[in-house]
Structure 1
Amino acid sequence: MNQRALPTGATAPLPAQPQWELRQIVDELRTVRERWREGLASSQECGAREFPSRQHLRDIVAALCAALFPMRLGPLDLQQESEDFFVGHTLDTTLTNLHEQVRRELSYHARQHGLQQTVPIEQQALAIVQRFARALPRIRAQLDTDVQAAFHGDPAAHSVDEVLLCYPGILAIIHYRLAHSLHVLGAPLVARIIAEVAHSQTGIDIHPGAVIGSSFFIDHGTGVVIGETAIIGERVRIYQAVTLGAKRFPAGSDGVLKKGLARHPIVQDDVVIYAGATILGRVTIGQGSVIGGNVWLTRNVAPHSHVTQAQNHQEVPRESDAVLASYSHQT
């Protein structure tokens, strides 16, 4: 049956199916929504859906992946001689779409907080996406180190192409590096949605606020959690079900959890963390250390240590904790 568009402001008639009691359910749902909105002191709804779209951002990231790795993640019929045309055309469309999603976030944020804008939101969004676009070559170069780390760190990897096409850890890292750039540039909601798209696809949960160095390798990956304020150095390798989380969540006088505190671990360069390890709180794992499987840690670990599950035993070299303390202070 053909359906005609409803006039502006018209309400669609409810289906004539009395067994569902739809009229009563719809009324009750409206009452619940209104009660919720009245309870939000900062709510300034504009009468329309004005949030970034998860579906659109999923498509945007897929297009960015194709532009970053055209001969691997681009269209099947792409030829190398037309790479530049494809990348340019894809980025032109995709960055325009990303600009709209960032604009939606900035508009939502301004409404929620009652902000008076000295610079139009359209221009703010444009500046963020322009800076993001200029960062794409650097992001691609950093992703190359991640792909190489996965290839060299996994004996089951037969080529870098296999790593890029098949490894969930690499997919999660691509999403993370794009999301982290947007988070830093001032689009944290868009960044968080991108991170959650990767989380739903891979089972790897990396907050876009985390800081992660080059040559990062997540092997297998399912169940990995990396918190918002985690700092990870260069050439770090972690395995499935590793958690870099918070130990405690202090609340303010109003009972609401305090936001933005440094509450996640610092992992220095060349650290390996094996499957199932849980590291909580603002602790530092020293350079070159190995954390064994299923270890539970809530304390600092000196550089070049080996921590095992058995009684959480730590083999510590003679190097003093002064190096560790100095690093933590600088961070």
Structure 2
Amino acid sequence: MNDDFYRHILNKQQLAETVPSNKEITTWAMQVIRLLFPEQSKKVFISIGQLQDEFDKLKQELLHIMDATKACDDCDNTNRAKSFFDQLPELYRVLNTDIQAIFNGDPAARSEFEVIRTYPGFFAISCYRLAHSLYKHEVPLLPRILTEYAHSKTGIDIHPAAEIGEYFYIDHGTGLVIGETTVIGKHVKLYQGVTLGALSVDKSMADTKRHPTVEDNVVIYSGATILGGETVVGYDSIIGGNVWLTKSVEPHSRVYHAPTVKVLKKSK
């Protein structure tokens, strides 16, 4: 191997050393979520001032992370970090609608505390909403690291650029995929194994809408696959399990497979 190869590897190493590790980034994000929802930790704050200090500390950590990623030479990271933390009350409000949707929609849920502490769907939604806010603030790298962290923990894969409305409910969730340009309305419920994906993955389509739109009050059952940027699931619709859908459906639709399973009695 020649020296150019080694120099190339060393240059990449120097670049990597300036960026905080994935563990540092996810630790920061988990601290933000646990401040918003202390049900997830035992840390106690005895005054508003102490809580404000903790948020200020996390703001400075975010600024450090953003500076280290070197997104651009003239980025005003100080204002971007401030803007992100200024919108945390709204993020908190929206996440509470998700908690309400899960608690009200799942007969097995005994309390909102249980939803916050134990439900993988809420964990994945929390990471997504945090990542989406960072994405909207044009913070590089962090949004994808956070949603991939949630993916590794829960099996739920949500791209941080997806647009998802309030009262979002993921039930079980393992194997769920929500693509980059997906748009989801309010009061939508998705089960495990649902794919909201693209009909084509050609690189030339990077700046186009490739993933479906799901309107308000839609339920999509496990294993359903809905593909294409022009595909719209109309409001108040139900999509049955294992449905393959590449065309739009009108509001109030019911889409399902015709039953083909037969049950035969075992002969004695």
For normalisation by structure 2, the TM-score amounts to 0.89
**Alignment partners' CA distance in 2, 1:310 and 1:280:** 21
Q: CA deviation at 1:246?
A: 0.6
**Alignment partners' CA distance in 2, 1:271 and 1:309:** 18
**Alignment partners' CA distance in 1, 2:235 and 2:28:** 37
Per the alignment, residue 32 of structure 2 pairs with 64
**Alignment partners' CA distance in 1, 2:156 and 2:50:** 30
**Alignment partners' CA distance in 2, 1:250 and 1:146:** 34
1:203-248: per-residue Cα shift (whole Å, max 9, x none)? Answer: 1111110000000000001111101100000000000011101111
The Cα RMSD (Å) is 2.3
Cα distance, 1:29–1:210 mapped onto 2, change above 3 Å: farther
1:278-310: per-residue Cα shift (whole Å, max 9, x none)? Answer: 111111000000000011111101100000022
The count of corresponding residues between Structure 1 and Structure 2 is 258
Per the alignment, residue 94 of structure 1 pairs with 58
Residue pair 1:169, 1:218 contacting (<8 A) in 2 also: yes
Cα distance, 1:50–1:286 mapped onto 2, change above 3 Å: same
Q: CA deviation at 1:265?
A: 0.5
In the alignment, structure 1 residue 193 sits paired with structure 2 residue 142:
no
Question: 1:300 is aligned with what amino acid?
Answer: S
Q: CA deviation at 1:181?
A: 0.5
Residue pair 1:169, 1:220 contacting (<8 A) in 2 also: yes
In the alignment, structure 1 residue 172 sits paired with structure 2 residue 124:
yes
1:2-45: per-residue Cα shift (whole Å, max 9, x none)? Answer: xxxxxxxxxxxxxxxxxxxxxxxxxx6987565679xxxxx998
Q: CA deviation at 1:104?
A: 2.1
Per the alignment, residue 188 of structure 2 pairs with 236
1:166-200: per-residue Cα shift (whole Å, max 9, x none)? Answer: 00000011111111011011114111111111111
**Alignment partners' CA distance in 2, 1:47 and 1:194:** 21
Question: 1:272 is aligned with what amino acid?
Answer: V
In the alignment, structure 1 residue 130 sits paired with structure 2 residue 82:
yes
In the alignment, structure 1 residue 279 sits paired with structure 2 residue 226:
yes
Residue pair 1:53, 1:101 contacting (<8 A) in 2 also: no
Aligned mate of 1:157, from 91, 104, 109? 109
Aligned mate of 2:21, from 46, 53, 78? 53
Cα distance, 1:201–1:29 mapped onto 2, change above 3 Å: farther
Percent identity over paired residues: 42
Per the alignment, residue 10 of structure 1 pairs with none
**Alignment partners' CA distance in 1, 2:62 and 2:101:** 30
Question: 2:228 is aligned with what amino acid?
Answer: G
Q: CA deviation at 1:127?
A: 1.4
SS at match of 1:301: coil
In the alignment, structure 1 residue 300 sits paired with structure 2 residue 248:
yes
**Alignment partners' CA distance in 1, 2:6 and 2:60:** 33
Question: 4+ residue stretches of structure 1 with deviation over 6 A?
Answer: none
SS at match of 1:310: coil
**Alignment partners' CA distance in 1, 2:3 and 2:89:** 48
SS at match of 2:19: coil
Q: CA deviation at 1:258?
A: 3.7
**Alignment partners' CA distance in 1, 2:166 and 2:213:** 15
SS at match of 1:229: coil
Cα distance, 1:46–1:199 mapped onto 2, change above 3 Å: same
Residue pair 1:52, 1:190 contacting (<8 A) in 2 also: no
Aligned mate of 1:261, from 208, 219, 229? 208
Residue pair 1:52, 1:102 contacting (<8 A) in 2 also: no
**Alignment partners' CA distance in 2, 1:274 and 1:163:** 20
Q: Which runs of 5+ in 2 are unaligned?
A: 260-268
Greater RCO structure (CA 8 Å; 6+ sep): 2
Per the alignment, residue 217 of structure 2 pairs with 270
Cα distance, 1:52–1:244 mapped onto 2, change above 3 Å: farther
Q: Which runs of 5+ in 1 are unaligned?
A: 1-27, 38-42, 111-116, 252-256, 312-331
**Alignment partners' CA distance in 2, 1:181 and 1:276:** 29
Aligned mate of 1:219, from 164, 171, 183? 171
**Alignment partners' CA distance in 1, 2:5 and 2:206:** 28
Residue pair 1:202, 1:222 contacting (<8 A) in 2 also: yes
Residue pair 2:37, 2:116 contacting (<8 A) in 1 also: no
- Larger CA Rg, structure 1 vs 2: 1
